A and B are shown apart, each in its own frame.
Chain A
Amino acid sequence: MHHKEKHAFEPKIIAFVCTWCTYAGADLAGTSRLQYPANVRVLKFPCTGRIDPVFILKAFQQGADGVLVSGCHPGDCHYIAGNFHARRRFAAFRKLLEFVGVDLGRLQFSWVSAAEGGKWVEMVTDLTERVRGMGPMQEFKELALEEQWSGAIDTPELQEAYDSI
């Protein structure tokens, strides 16, 4: 905690977006010169229906502190029903994540159309700020550390050494 000044926490946000709506919306935000946090890394998919829950898991495992999944509004899907399928899959996936103990505050779903540059900005800003408030996503990192060191950082000395890296 006392190292906070030294290393201000900048959340890593991974956004999985569909190419037809949200990606275009994010692009519009850019070309309209709207400002939004640089914390977000955007990954483009053909459709929200292609976004497998395992991608979200992988993002958390690779160090994401927050994940945004966004695509076309219902009725606007380029493939007609991809987002409807995604909606059910993610409704179920959220329940599963919640049951294994992932705080759902770190995971946001949204519909952002190609015309909604402003909504994209709002979405990314909100999630970034919320995750900033929640602090780093430790759960998956701790698992990874256990893999390497056969044990978590359970002494103050180790924690201090780790923080100062």
Chain B
Amino acid sequence: MGARPKVAFFEFTSCEGCQLTVVDSLQTHPELLDAVEIVRFREAMSEKGDDYLIAFVEGSISRASDEAQLKQIRERAALVVALGTCAHLGGINTIRNRQELQSVRRYVYGDKADWYETYPARPLSAVVPIDAVIPGCPIDRGEFVAVVTALLQGRKPWLPDYPVCVECKLKENVCVYQRKQTCLGPITRAGCDAICPTYGDGCEGCRGLIPNPNLSSMKNVLAEHGMTADETLAKTTLFLTYQMMELEAGTDG
């Protein structure tokens, strides 16, 4: 094997939970450390390299001044990978996109609101083209290893296009709807091994929508299980705000 490919990690608006999950997967897959050379990982090391082949970028873009840095990363890297839901779909940061920006700033910073720059949170792909995504909030360790392996072999990483329900049934979980809870498993992209229903909680859609989700039938199911329109809106805007707003814009125009 020749020189190991150089990889770098970057973060924008995020909780750094996905990068921590990367640290965890390196623990269980130390062979990855032999396969790549990490030139930049601010959370774990002081060295800062600017020469890299693959850039893993965590976090959503939530202010205009972050765009230049992302564009620079795009120029330098051959492959840009969105690491986690924040980077892939805007994530939890997009909850506030449905609120009026000035009121959000004022609520947190009062009359000092203007000191702080912000705009509606967006995924990386709204700013630069992305080569691959690793979904989830946080990412799944196994999937991270699989995606990195595919990229190193020059393959396009595979992501399931079927819903979480499929994995959930394979695990023989009791459906949470039978326990009077609600779940977005039918419209959410699988790949997490249905971890939330397995731990007794409904899927919150963190991995994003499957292709062509049947949203109206999902809404009917939620209504049948006693959810009000407001509650349904809340449920579908925890991680899915950006996708939902895009779909709404699409049907209106």
Chain B associates with chain A: no
Which A residues are within 8 Å of any B CB, using their own CB?
none
